[in-house]
Each structure stands twice: as structure tokens, then as C-alpha cells.
Amino acid sequence: ILQCFKALCCKGPPPPRPEYDLVCIGLTGSGKTSLLSQLCSESQENIVSTTGFSIKAVPFQNAVLNVKELGGADTIRKYWSRYYQGSQGVIFVLDSASSEDDLETARNELHSALQHPQLCTLPFLILANHQDKPAARSVQEIKKYFELEPLARGKRWILKPCSLDDMDAVKDSFTLLIHLLEERELEPSRM
């Protein structure tokens, strides 16, 4: 019995969870800050648009994601690429209920990111946010409009619907991203 007790109690601290550095991009108003704050269990009150960037450590059961969220205003977007270095994955948040113009801008920004030399080999989690709004487009419509199939062929990307109403689905999407990050770590490094 003592042996059994020792085995249970004396294991020492759990092994540290792996940490991954991610960049989170998307237009202003797509919901990046709200989603990340909710994932960190922070208050949803007084959320303001991110100007510049902010960094959040988002804890999950099997990993910690250090997410660098970049502001989405057009004056800031031209500097996004300065913050890409060292990223191991990308979260792209889009407002699935936005105007045609904004959707087109989001598409162009996503295309640029998918083709950027520092990001093009990384896993992408694309979140079609605001699915709870009446004007929201379905994931199928977004996949087609964003021309993801031909553009992202051979890349690791996940496109998921989301809204703040269903944080379990958001967490599931992040779990899928963590699996892609883990798989990427196991690959022999491409020189």
C-alpha cells in the first residue's frame, strides 16, 4: 500500500506544458480581443480595439499559447509583417457578418499572410467569427469566397465557425490547432 501511495504522491510537479508563439491577425472589429480575453477568462467589459499589439498567454490543458495579437486598423496592418518573426502558428479572425468591402479586405489580408515567407509553412486557424449575427455567412460561403481550397492547398489550415456564445467550440478549434503545432514539432526540420 505504501508503494502505491508513494507512486501517487511523490511524482513531483507535472512536466511543463509546451509553449507555442502565435500571431493573431484580422481586421478591426473581427473580435480578436474579445475571443482571446474570453479564452483567458478575463472580463468582457471595457474591451477596446487593440492599437499596436498585445500579448496574452492562453492556457490550455496540453499547451500554453503565447498569442501576439496585432491591431487590425488599416494604418497598423502594413506593419503586421514586422511582428511575424518567431511565430509558430497563425490565428486569423474574420467577421463573417461584415460588409462585402470588409470581407474583401480580409480576404486580401489572409491571402498575403498565407503567402508570406515567414508564415507560409505554419499552421493556420481561421475563425469565422460572429456566427451568432443574422447576416453571418456560413463556413462554406467563406471557404468559397476566400478561395481557400486552391490557395491553401498543401498547407495546414483549419477553418471553423465561432462566436462568443459558444466558447466550447472555440476551445475545440484551438485544440485542433495545438495538434497541428505538435505534429509540426515532430517533423524533421526542413533545412
Q: What is the residue-level pLDDT of the chain in tens, covering all 191 positions?
A: 445 454 555 556 667 889 999 999 999 999 999 999 999 988 777 777 777 788 999 999 899 999 999 999 989 999 999 999 999 999 999 999 999 999 999 999 999 999 999 999 999 999 999 999 999 999 999 999 998 877 766 678 999 999 999 999 999 999 999 999 999 888 765 54
Predicted confidence at residue 191, as pLDDT, reads 41
> pLDDT digits over 135-160, tens only?
999 999 999 999 887 776 667 899 99
DSSP 18: P
Predicted confidence at residue 2, as pLDDT, reads 47
Domain 19-186 has CATH 3.30.1370.100: no
* Binding site as annotated, residues: 26-33, 50, 72, 129-132
| Domain spans in the chain, listed from the N-terminal domain onward | 19-186
* Binding site as annotated, residues for GTP: 26-33, 72, 129-132
- 23 to 31, 57, 66, 138, 180: CA distances (angstroms): 15, 12, 8, 25, 15
Predicted confidence at residue 44, as pLDDT, reads 74
* Binding site as annotated, residues for Mg(2+): 33, 50
